[in-house]
Amino acid sequence: MAGRKNDSLADALVDALARLPWWVGVTLAFISYLWLHSVANAPMPTQLQPGQVGSFAITAMLRSLAMAGQYALPFLCLLGAGISAFKRYRARGLHAEAMNRADAVSQMSWREFEVLVGEYFHRQGFVVTNTGGGGPDGGVDVVLQRGSDRYLVQCKHWRALRVGPEPVRELYGLIAAQRMAGGYLVTSGDFTDEARKFVEGRELQLINGKALQRGIQGQASPITPLSAIPEMQASGPACPVCAAVMVKRLARNGPNTGKSFWGCSRFSETNCRGTRAI
């Protein structure tokens, strides 16, 4: 049992580092080796005073752990860094393939499609975390962050079918439950008219395969945070604080979580907190 527990802790560390930039793992490997090496080689007291037996035993135990850990922990950090570097190399390769081949997006596997989508948003200035929990049909595959706002991304690798409104509703529910700023639903295929109608006035954006391909090839406008896309939100009354146009937003916390309200369109620029009930 202890062996399996240690393996799971090691796996969790490697997996966490693999999700970070490769240089983070290399830096942690260097720091952890220096620290544990100093602990492992710290001199032990040659004479014990009364009452020091307990502290001596703890010091000896920590020194023994450090002697093994000075090699094991840096190795795990470097392993995670290596996996991270390989993922970046793979993502860049898929992005380059999508730039050079018109049918690249439609020909990718669902795993490759998920990696490509993450790379696409990464190049748009978002901090990207690939969760790897979606599969070909659903689940949150990517989490984005820009500033203090976080967004969910769901990938649908449906080449032959059009995505209907139900997956869009599910993503909208996840956004409300996790108090996110908005979300993106990306498919290698297309969306039905019902799905497109559902996102009107909501902090959601649909990206089909052709739009993704054009965006990768630089033939479409860059992605911007949903709070900055006026065409995605219905214009409302004037803000009671600064008189700017208000837009429809989704409450992410408090007693009104999941409900829509009018919020100031200049919130991200001036932090104006003017609101009105819908």
DSSP three-state, residue 16: helix
Which candidate, 188, 175, 174, 193, places its Cα nearest to that of 216?
A: 188
pLDDT in tens, 137-146: 446 789 999 8
Ranges for all domains in the chain classified under CATH 3.40.1350.10: 106-225
Over residues 202-222, the pLDDT tens digits come to: 888 999 988 898 888 886 655
Is the pLDDT at 1 greater than 50? The verdict is no
CA separation for the pair 74, 92 (Å, rounded): 27
Give the pLDDT band of residue 59 (cuts 50, 70, 90): confident
Q: Is the pLDDT of residue 251 over 80?
A: no
Binning pLDDT at 50, 70 and 90, where does residue 133 land?
Answer: low
Check: CB of residue 100 under 8 Å from CB of residue 213: no
pLDDT tens, residue by residue, 229-244: 333 344 567 777 777 7
End-to-end CA distance of the chain, in Å? Answer: 56
CA geometry: angle at 31 spanning 27 and 37, to 5°?
145
pTM of the model: 0.66
Contact criterion met (CB below 8 Å) for 121 and 153 = yes
For residues 163 and 135, give the distance between their C-alpha atoms in angstroms, rounded to a whole number: 15
- pLDDT at residue number 102: 80
Distance CA(152)–CA(145), nearest Å, equals 9
What H or E segment, with its residue span, contains residue 275? Answer: strand 275-276
The pLDDT of residue 228: 42
What is the mean predicted confidence (pLDDT) over 107-134?
Answer: 86
pLDDT for 64-88, tens place per residue? 888 989 999 999 999 999 999 999 9
Query: What's the pLDDT at 47?
Result: 64
Token pair for 12: 């969790």
pLDDT of 234: 43
- Strand pairing class (204-207; 190-191): unpaired
Give 21-45 pLDDT, tens digit per residue: 899 999 999 999 999 999 888 877 6
Q: What is the mean pLDDT of the chain?
A: 82
Task: Please report, for the chain, how many H helices and E strands are present, in that order.
Answer: 9, 11
Which pLDDT does position 171 carry in this prediction? Answer: 92
- Summarised one tens digit per residue, pLDDT across range 258-270 is 777 888 877 766 6
The more confident residue out of 52 and 30 is 30
Give pLDDT tens digits for 156-206. 987 667 899 999 999 988 888 888 889 999 999 899 999 998 988 788 899
Beta bridge partners of 206: 185
What confidence tier does 151 reach under pLDDT thresholds 50, 70, 90? very high
Write the CATH number of the domain with boundaries 106-225.
3.40.1350.10
